[in-house]
Amino acid sequence: MATRPLARAAALSLLLGLACGRGDEGESATTGTSTSTGGDIGAATDMFDRACHEIFSCWCVDYGYADEASCAAELLERAMSDHAQVVSADQVFDWGCYERTLEVNRLGCDPDPNILGSGFFMECPSCQISFGDGQLGEPCQGTFSGSTCAQGLRCSHHEAGFCYDPCAPPQVDQPCPDPGCGEGMVCFDGACRPLIGRLGDYCAYFGVTCGPGLICDWSGDEDSTCAPVLAPGESCLGTGDRCPEDYHCPGPAYVCALRPDIGEPCVSAPCRSGAYCDTVTQVCQRAPGIGEPCDDNCPYPTICASLLSVCAAPPEAGEPCVDGKCASGKRCAPGGICQPEPAVCHNP
């Protein structure tokens, strides 16, 4: 155990050399051009002493270190290595952020001493252990413990990285940040798009519904987009069936016409809402309501529950799944409970 203080002293000496061996740069710690900020090496060693003292003040079965001294020495050695890599990349090393991201300071009496901060602190305001001068929206690169973005920003993990503010709410039509676009949006082609599609918005990807008066046009060769709903009697040839609800696009006229109603033949067209096509008579029949017997003929969005063979409302978040199904925007999670569908990033 006598080697621990020596290792700590050697690590401290080398770290001091790294910090002070850069001439005038090491003396301008408050100018923004230095290699370190947020404190000096002495403050850093005090930080490790405090952190290790907190660990050993807990009633833990396994502290992960033999004693406080060896804990502080090991953390200092890691800091020495981290600092050296940052300095060699001509970036600024932020000691204050390093302390914030030190896991032993945040896990209290349940620390994992093998996990130190990754350089990205998720709480706001955000910080990076090492940082550059890249501004909001500018191209960037991730580094060993941060990025080339200015302090307070982060570099996205997309192929063409850009600096973004992780604490600012994402905006529609702006690049997708790494945590995702948030409620009401989805990431598509690298940008946040609204789940309620506007005219011309893509609608062939997960969770997007076109807004009022719009419908998803599947007729194009490229990705489908939200387009205006056609009027009854309007030509629908080559429009990807943009007729209104309860209308279809039959040939040879190819104009929006009403679908068959209850009691009308349904050989060549689906029935209107609230009805289903009897496979034996090929005539539209009234669809069963919730709680009524069914045979896979429940009107959307109700479900024909196999256990009782009756129509049931699709379960919402927190409710048991029905035959593995949930309401729109929900998914049947392990354990058979409906949960909100997670955000999906397409072609980031």
Does the domain at residues 171-258 carry the CATH identifier 2.60.40? Answer: no
Euclidean distance between CA atoms 62 and 129, whole angstroms: 28
Q: Is the pTM of this model over 0.75?
A: no
Average pLDDT, the chain: 75
pLDDT of residue 60: 59
Residue with tokens 């196999």: 306
Strand partners, 146: 130
The CA-atom distances, in angstroms, between 178 and each of 131, 132, 146, 342 are 18, 19, 14, 14
The answer to whether 11 touches 3, Cβ cutoff 8 Å, is no
- pLDDT of 309 above 70: yes
Residue 12 pLDDT exceeds 70: no
How many angstroms separate the Cα of 208 from the Cα of each of 144, 201, 220, 308, 329? 37, 9, 18, 33, 10
Q: Does the N-terminal peptide bond of residue 301 adopt cis geometry, omega within 30 degrees of 0?
A: yes
Kindly write down the DSSP assignment for every residue of 179-213, as one continuous string.
T---TTEEEETTEEEESEEPTT-B-SSTT-EE-TT
Domain ranges in the chain are 3-106, 171-258, 262-301
* pLDDT tens digits, one per residue of 269-293: 899 998 999 989 999 999 999 999 9
Helix H or strand E segment including 277: strand 275-277
Share of the chain above pLDDT 70, in %: 73
Q: What is the mean pLDDT of residues 64-74?
A: 83
